[in-house]
Amino acid sequence: MIITKKALPRRTFLRGMGASLALPLLDAMVPAMTALAATTANPVRRLGFVYVPMGAHIPQWTPPGSGRLTELSPTLLSLAPFVDQLTVITNLELKNAYPGTHATSNAAFLSAARAKWTESTDYYLGTTVDQVAARQIGGETPLPSLELAMDLLTTVGQCDNGYACVYQNNLSWSSPTTPLPAEAHPRVVFERLFGDGGSAADRLTELRKRSSLLDWVREDISRLQNRLGPGDRTKVGQYLDTVREVERRIQKAEAQTADSPLPDLDRPVGVPAAYADHARLMFDLQVLALQGDVTRVITFQLARETSTRTYPEIGVSDPHHPLTHNGGNPEMLAKVAKINAFHVSLFAYFLDKLKATPDGNGSLLDHSAYLYGSGMSNADKHDHVNLPILVAGGGAGRIKGGRHIKYSEPTPLANLHLTLLDMAGVHLDAFADSQGKVKELLEPLSL
């Protein structure tokens, strides 16, 4: 690593007319050996949460044995390249998600709180774990947190057994009465990350007029490159290439939508037609957000509870939700397991991107912790015990992966939330109905 006497600020931006582009961590941002040591010892910590609906076919999800993770289950096979930074946790529960609904599964996942039973606007839940983290570690970034989804819905009223739709629509709540809407449109997310000035609508309009965001910051790029060493110039070049590629894919999706006489009403206008393409693009935007330190806290609803989405790209033409009410039908369960594995494979795509993205003396995967899972286990029974839960990433050196933690008795999911907060530097005595921390997540495996 090249040590420079005059360092660039970590919060360095490339700016143009109405555009702002954060930079990844560069060698030129490290001013001296003392700062280098501090950066190495205390890398930026990032937290992410990915939600999948309607649980999983648990026998196909759960790895055999416990302790060291030597064999993955059929559903998790695509995560094999990341097994050393993977922890599967079996027998976690959400007591406050009962009486057992899709709405409470989504609502309790990050809050571990009991949703007020109401169809009106007097809804009440609890502050979610991501927002607890964002209050402390989000103040150092342009966006304290980023809320994403795959379905852009404006459903109001009651959605599930007398529960207001707000519980199903929103993963993240900044207070018990303040849900944070998620964005599913890639162009709007891109604009949130890189736009600057004016209202959201103004910035979006301006971005659509540009041939490229990078064209508007070209002068700043040239000035910056003249100040950097060869290694940093390569790193910046690769980062800008990624921004350009994401932007190109967004523009392509918008052009395809404009040319289509029959838009797909089940997806936001302007997103890629294929679910997997849309999901990968949303994951790529998360990589850019983390790499540029635009935010350190992200939630992503990979699909919505009671979703009737079909997955023709993997040969499943049946709607997801009806498949989960299968009464144990082997053929339907096999299709559910196929959907589960497909969702996991998209997460594996994301982990691969994080692993390949340098960050200080490691990678984004090394310095992140992502919780992946559902607020429901067996959707046919609407139960909330033995949830499908895993954690991926090194947690900035705090998380010891390559294991299967298997509790003999149901254990609060809030214990994991409390542990992840502690890993991120947010130290609390308790969170929701927690009974302690998942100490095994942070301790080396005994040989």
pLDDT digits (tens, 9 = 90+) for 169-207: 999 999 999 999 999 999 889 888 876 545 556 555 655
State how beta strands 67-68 and 403-412 pair. antiparallel
- Residue 216, pLDDT score: 58
Token readout for 317 is: 């033409």
Residues 36-82: tens digit of each pLDDT: 444 455 788 999 999 999 999 999 999 999 999 999 999 999 999 99
Contact by Cβ (8 Å): 290, 296: yes
What is the average per-residue pLDDT within 246-262? Answer: 62
Q: What is the DSSP string of 232-275?
A: HHHHHHHHHHHHHHHHHHHHHHHHHHHH-SS--TTS-TTS-SSH
pLDDT of residue 368: 97
Backbone angles phi, psi at 404, to 5 degrees: -120, 110
Domain ranges in the chain are 43-50+106-184+271-372+388-397+416-425
CB-CB contact of 62 with 76 (8 Å): no
What is the separation of C-alpha 209 from the centre of its chain, rounded to a whole number of angstroms?
29
- Kindly state the helix (H) or strand (E) to which residue 339 belongs, with its residue range: helix 330-355
Alpha helices by DSSP H, 42-93: 58-61
- Give the per-residue pLDDT at 338: 98
Q: What percent of the chain has pLDDT over 90?
A: 62
- pLDDT of 261-299, one tens digit each? 444 434 455 678 899 999 999 999 999 999 989 899 999
Number of H helices, E strands in the chain: 15, 16
Residue 364: band (very low, low, confident or very high) from pLDDT cuts 50, 70, 90: very high
Q: Centre a 10 Å sphere on the Cβ of residue 27 and count the other Cβ atoms it contains.
A: 18
Query: What percent of the chain has a predicted confidence (pLDDT) above 70?
Result: 77
The predicted pLDDT at position 41 comes to: 55
- What tokens appear for 180 in the block? 């944070």
- Distance in angstroms (rounded) separating the CA atoms of residues 368 and 286: 12
Q: Are 366 and 396 in contact (CB under 8 A)?
A: yes
For residue range 297-321, list pLDDT tens digits in order.
999 999 999 999 999 999 999 999 9
pTM (predicted TM-score): 0.83
Using the CB atoms, write b or e for 292-330: b if 16+ within 10 Å: bbbbbbbbbbbbbbbbebbbeeeebeeebbebbebeeee
Instruction: Determine the average pLDDT of the residues in 26-30.
Output: 69
> Higher model confidence: residue 147 or residue 37?
147
| CA–CA distance, 317 with 297 (Å, rounded to integer) | 34
Q: How far apart are the C-alpha atoms of 28 and 7, rounded to whole Å?
A: 5
Is there a contact between 46 and 369 (Cβ–Cβ < 8 Å)? yes
Backbone angles phi, psi at 109, to 5 degrees: -55, -45
Q: Which residues face 90 on adjacent strands? A: 406
Residue with tokens 């294929």: 274
For the segment 130-151, the average pLDDT, to the nearest whole number, is: 93
Whole-number Å distance between alpha carbons of 200 and 109: 29
Q: Is pLDDT at 110 greater than 90 in this prediction?
A: yes
**Residue 237, number of CB atoms within 10 A of its CB:** 13
- Residues 322-348 have a mean pLDDT of 97
pLDDT (tens digit per residue) in 388-407? 999 999 999 999 899 999 99
**Token pair 């992966």 in the structure block, residue:** 401
Q: Residue 47: which H helix or E strand, with range?
A: strand 46-51
- Answer whether residue 447 shows pLDDT above 80: no
In terms of pLDDT, which residue wins out, 348 or 159?
Answer: 348
